Amino acid sequence: MSNADEQAAVVDIVTAGLKRRYAAERRFRLFGLLSVVLGFVFLFALFASIISTGYPAFQSTYVQLDIDFDPAILDISASPGSEELSAANYAGLVKHSLRELFPAVKKRRERRSLYQLVSIGAEYELRNRLLTAPSFIGRKEALWLPANDDLDTFMKGGIDRQLPQENRRLSDQQLTWIDALLEAGRIEKRFNTVFFTSGDSREPELAGIKGALLGSFYTLIVTLVLSFPIGIAAAIYLEEFASRSRWTDVIEININNLAAVPSIVFGLLGLAVFINVFDLPRSAPLVGGLVLTLMTLPTIIIASRAALKSVPPSIREAALGVGASRMQMVTHHVLPLALPGMLTGTIIGMARALGESAPLLMIGMVAFIVDVPQSITEPATALPVQIYLWSDSPERAFTEKTSAAIIVLLVFLVVMNSLAVYLRKRFEKRW
């Protein structure tokens, strides 16, 4: 057989196989496309369900009442001190104005169910109003006050009138009052500022996300401040300075193993070390941050080492060749090139830390905390823990709060990631 024949035979063989090869490629592309589409469908379904259940929580129902700041009803003297003011009978104000609106309601039991339409948050609001402006005493004002969560749920369509009375949270009588109030234009849905300005509460209409949001924020700040420099320093040391020895091998294996340790174990460690040995405050973002630092460090170190490894060795040789010291080589040339990759790793770690609840449960950040934390040592909870707590509450109104908190968490995540992408772009531009 001549060479030309052989070449022709090769062409035939190649052509025969081509169809199969292209078919395989098309199949692969189809599968890829399918999985992307499937992913998008699930993502869309998830978002749609969360947003549709969550968005009502950004509104809440208010009732307009004519409040008579009469010292007699308030049970105070004509010119009270602030102590007297804070102990005054604000519930009486609300009850009084409700009684005036519905003079026909006389029986004690009926009255009590009438009073239930307004949230006890109304009393706090009235008290705040008087404490900041005592001049209101003696005046009469039409004020919008928060409604009870049952009324709120009703306004958002969560209570069915057709159900028999025993099976719904509002009685027939309450419904007629509500209808009367609606007729008079005294019920309105407004933007729910409470949700963003207050901490947790047993009353759904008073429960807010601010405490958890700040708790998460402080926790993440502690985590970032500790884990970023430590992680990067460790990665640089291991990658650029440490000579390979049995010790560095042991360290490397351990770091890789630590990255795979379930996060709850870090929570237990934090409880045992930071709280029981070092006596740091329980439930505090400081401890949460420390625990999440332990959890995040391996991720950051591994990602940073990969980023350092990807810097071409010729850059190192060039720097050493003109007489740079090792430290100069790292800080002037290697680090700037590796930084974008390190930032990516850090962001992945931080995003994981933001969504983590198990280790925080272990160190007491699951407690029911009403106050909004002011510093990293005050008791706080975190967003995922708050979501967990609310999802566990029986009231219908907490369901929407849960979804709203998830929305806030996702927004937080998106903001954080965009910031990282922006930073990375800036660092990359410098070259």
Partner 1 sequence: MPSSIANAAPAATAANLNDQQTQDLHQKIAATVGRIEVDDAKMSMRDVDVFYDDKHAICAVNLDIAAHEVIAMIGPSGCGKSTFLRCMNRMNDTIENCRVSGSLKLDGVDIYDKKQDVVQLRARVGMVFQKPNPFPKSIYDNVAYGPRIHGLAANRAELEEIVVTSLERSGLFAEVKDRLDKPGTGLSGGQQQRLCIARAIAVNPEVILMDEPCSALDPIATARIEELIDELRKNYTIAIVTHSMQQAARVSQRTAYFHLGYLVEVGETAKIFTYPEHKLTEDYITGRFG
What residues make contact with partner 1 under the rule CB under 8 A? 243-244, 312, 314-325, 328, 332-333, 337, 431
Number of Cα atoms under 13 Å in the Cβ half of residue 26: 6
Nearer to partner 1, 3 or 243 (CB): 243
Nearer to partner 1, 7 or 328 (CB): 328
| CB 429, min distance to partner 1, A | 12
Q: Where are the alpha helices (DSSP H) in 55-89?
A: 71-74, 82-86
> Contact 376/286 with Cβ under 8 angstroms?
yes
Q: Which runs of E-coded beta strand occur in 80-223?
A: 140-146, 187-191
C-beta closer to partner 1: residue 103 or 323: 323
Output 147 or 319, the one with its CB closest to partner 1: 319
Rounded to an integer, what distance in angstroms lies between the CA atom of residue 131 and that of residue 80? 10
Q: How many CB atoms lie within 10 A of CB 355?
A: 16
CB of 428 to partner 1, least distance (A): 10
Shortest approach of partner 1 to residue 363 CB, angstroms?
42
Residue 24 or 327 having the CB closest to partner 1 = 327
DSSP state of 271: I
Smallest gap from Cβ 348 to partner 1, in A, equals 25
Handedness of CA 100, 105, 110, 113 (dihedral sign): negative
Please choose, from the candidates 208, 236, 264, 136, the residue with its C-alpha nearest in 3D space to the C-alpha of residue 398. 208
Least distance from partner 1 to the Cβ atom of residue 242, Å: 11
Q: How far apart are CA 413 and CA 352, in angstroms?
A: 10
Give the shortest CB-322-to-partner 1 separation in angstroms: 4
Query: Smaller CB distance to partner 1: residue 74 or 238?
Result: 238
Q: Which is nearer to partner 1, 12 or 428 (CB)?
A: 428
Q: How far apart are CA 266 and CA 289, in angstroms?
A: 11
Give the residue ranges of DSSP H helices in 55-120: 71-74, 82-86, 90-101, 108-115
Instruction: Give the shortest CB-323-to-partner 1 separation in angstroms.
Output: 4
